Structure 1
Amino acid sequence: PAEGPAGTASGESAAALLSQGLRLLSVEDNPFGRVVLNTILTELGHHAEFVGQGEAAPDRLAQGAFDAVLMDMVLPGIGGIEAIKRIRALPPPYGRIVIVGISGRAEDEAAARAAGADGFLVKPVSPRALATALHEATRRAATAT
């Protein structure tokens, strides 16, 4: 089948993916941050799996069927920028998955986008901002395929 908007092989439109809920890989080392993100994502109808280190993201991504990645920029070990670069180096469809960077520092946005992030959010993340970022990133990915 044709590759979908977020790197899946489903061929579904961005609107269809968002309406049924995205499968998200969230790279977040802070337990409180995980609870907040998981609460917001669940309320938005999405399903998240969490890993706590940037090194784990490419391997976990290649093992599961995910529609997008939420990438914290400040992580133990390799940071979010390097993790994004490693994901982008994966073969298709994994390397083309939608990635939204998240940081408490707005100045991280340029580096995140330069590394390959499709979107960027500044903490604290609101439900509306997260929903908008996921919608915009998956819509752009759908029109790029």
Structure 2
Amino acid sequence: MGGMTTTTPAMRPLRVLVADDNPLNLRLATRILRDMGHSGVLVGDGHKALEALRAQTFDLVLMDVTMPGMDGVEALRELRAREAAGMQRRTPVIMVTAYDLPEDRRRLLDAGADGYVAKPLDAERLAAEIRRVLG
């Protein structure tokens, strides 16, 4: 029994912004990230996600598509516009959605998402997508 984790062998600890309005989803995402050796900062909507991204540096964003106020797609488009304008550095974004249809995936990638996972969050699937997105 070694101290090595089998989920993400060669990955350094990441600082992840998790944007979701559902407390259960936030708790689940936090637990999965912690088990992978990463730390999460939690926010409840797109406006708060953009504020956090303006104020702090993150390695990755996990963004729920459906949130009140400003949804994940709006927040993603705004973030990509800021990055294109040179207002902040580019941050990889994995969208989290309940809808897993090809047209949904296309819409999210067109909006600037780097990756995509379906709900309910699955530790192995999320780990694989994080590895894929961060190369």
Query: Under TM normalisation by the shorter chain, which class is it?
Result: 0.7 to 0.9
> Could you say which residue in structure 1 is the equivalent of 2:13?
21
- Structure number with the bigger relative contact order (C-alpha 8 A, sep ≥ 6) is 1
Quote how far apart the aligned CAs of 1:20 are: 2.2
Q: Which has the higher helix share?
A: 1
Residue of structure 1 aligned with 2:37, choices 32, 45, 54 = 45
Specify the SS of the correspondent of 2:69.
Answer: coil
Equivalent residue letter for 2:92: V
Instruction: Pick the structure with greater CA Rg.
Output: 2
Name the CA distance, whole Å, in 2 between partners of 1:38 and 1:126.
12
Cα distance change of structure 1 residues 125 and 86 upon mapping to structure 2, 3 Å threshold = same
Q: Does 1:32 align with 2:32?
A: no
Secondary structure at 1:20's aligned position in 2? coil
**What's the CA shift string for 1:12-59, capped at 9, x where partnerless?**
xxx99x622110001111000011111101001110001101111122
| Greater Cα offset, 126-135 or 90-99 | 90-99
Q: Which runs of no fewer than 5 residues in structure 2 stay unpaired?
A: 1-7
Q: Gaps spanning 5+ residues in structure 1: where?
A: 1-14, 140-145
Corresponding position: 1:100 with 2:99: no
Q: 1:45 and 1:93 mapped to 2: Cα distance?
A: 30
Aligned-residue RMSD, C-alpha: 1.9
**TM-score w.r.t. structure 2 length?**
0.85
In the TM superposition, what are the counterparts of 1:1-145 in structure 2 within 5 Å?
A: 19-91=11-83, 92=86, 94-107=88-101, 108-139=104-135
String of CA shifts for 1:90-110, please: whole Å, max 9, x gaps: 234845210000011113322
Q: How many residues align structurally? A: 124
What per-residue deviation string (whole Å, max 9, x for no partner) do you get for residues 93-138 of structure 1?
8452100000111133221111000000000121111111111111
SS at match of 2:46: coil
TM superposition outliers: structure 1 runs of 4+ over 3 Å: 91-95
Asked if the contact 1:88/1:95 (under 8 Å) is kept, the reply is no
2:87 and 2:31 map into 1 onto residues whose CA distance is 28
Instruction: Determine the C-alpha separation between the residues in 1 that align with 2:23 and 2:129.
Output: 22
- Percentage of identical aligned residues: 31
The aligned amino acid for 2:24 is F
